Amino acid sequence: MEFIQIAGVVFALFAISRGYLKFRKKSLSLNGYLAWSALWLGVIVIAVLPSSTGFLAGWLGIGRGIDVVVYLSIILLYYLIFRVYLKLEELRKDITRLVREIAYKRVGKKRK
């Protein structure tokens, strides 16, 4: 195995272990843990068996295996950015609602 393959496997195992610790502390849901673990297990498979990307490339009609990895990575990153954006919008709305409630309560106390 090449150094980069070993580094990829070690990093993926580290990420899985960190996810497990977050899951045990209840700061990561079971679905989240399983999704991230599946992603990192995929990284391990690609690191150990780089030829597996060639099979996927042929099945998808893409020239090289590394191109599949790059394309899927970009798609995944855009999806994750979109999810973070939605979460931020939800938090912004919650903060706005809370600030308004606090302001209404303070105004009500001053008028009494």
Q: Token match 């399983």: residue? A: 34
Q: Token match 């954006």: residue? A: 85
Least confident of 2-6, 35-39, 53-57: 53-57
Average pLDDT over residues 20-44: 96
Task: Return the closest-CA partner of residue 69 out of 57, 59, 81, 58.
Answer: 57
End-to-end CA distance of the chain: 76
**pLDDT tens, residue by residue, 46-100:** 999 988 888 889 888 998 988 999 999 999 999 999 999 999 999 999 999 999 9
CB 34 within 8 A of CB 28: no
Q: Is 109 helix (H, G, I), strand (E, B) or coil?
A: helix
Measure the CA–CA gap between 107 and 102, rounded to whole angstroms.
9
What's the whole-model pTM score? Answer: 0.74
- Residue 83 to residues 53, 71, 76, 87, 109, Cα–Cα distance (Å): 27, 19, 11, 6, 39
Measure the CA–CA gap between 89 and 82, rounded to whole angstroms.
11
Measure the CA–CA gap between 32 and 55, rounded to whole angstroms.
28
